[in-house]
């Protein structure tokens, strides 16, 4: 996947938006103001994704392309460098997991607002 394909997939998630809170290159993806991914259109292309702490450790041990989150809380974030041993299908699964973690932590009110926005 390239930057545009990943961007499209990230923004297809329920309630997903993006902004540039840190600088003009790092795009931060959010659901209800909660970050679930960070990515910049740079080479080599990489993406930071939120991850369950135990699952994060497992993924780091299984895939050379998965490291602890660059400039993030190492317990809850992974950085996936593209072009390595993580294929597109697996990357989509990692993105889904990240988004689901964030969505699962939203309040009932936040979830209701997202439902209204999608109608």
Confirm whether 116 is domain-assigned: no
Confirm whether 117 is domain-assigned: no
The answer to whether residues 40 and 47 touch, using CB atoms and an 8 Å cutoff, is: no
Q: Coil, helix or strand for 95?
A: helix
Q: How confident is the model at residue 43 (pLDDT cuts 50, 70, 90)?
A: confident
Confirm whether 83 is domain-assigned: yes
Percent of the chain with pLDDT over 70: 97
Confirm whether 24 is domain-assigned: yes
Q: What is the pLDDT of residue 83?
A: 92
Confirm whether 119 is domain-assigned: no
Q: Which domain holds residue 23?
A: 3-109
- Strands 16-19 and 26-31 come out as antiparallel
Give the chain's domain count. 1
Q: What is the pLDDT of residue 118?
A: 58
DSSP H helical segments within 1-119, as ranges?
A: 3-11, 53-62, 88-104, 108-118
Confirm whether 118 is domain-assigned: no
Q: What is the CATH number of the domain that holds 9?
A: 3.90.1150.30
pTM summary value:
0.92
Confirm whether 84 is domain-assigned: yes
């Amino acid at each position: 996947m390239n930057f545009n394909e990943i961007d499209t997939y990230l923004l297809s998630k329920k309630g997903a938006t993006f902004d540039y809170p840190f600088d003009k290159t790092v795009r931060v993806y959010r659901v209800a103001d909660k970050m679930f991914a960070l990515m910049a259109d740079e080479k080599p292309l990489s993406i930071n994704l939120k991850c369950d702490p135990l699952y994060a450790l497992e993924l780091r041990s299984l895939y050379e392309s998965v490291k602890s989150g660059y400039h993030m809380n190492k317990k809850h974030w992974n950085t996936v460098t593209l072009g390595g041993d993580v294929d597109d299908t697996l990357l989509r699964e990692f993105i889904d997991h990240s988004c689901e973690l964030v969505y699962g932590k939203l309040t009932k009110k936040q979830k209701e607002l997202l439902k209204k926005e999608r109608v």
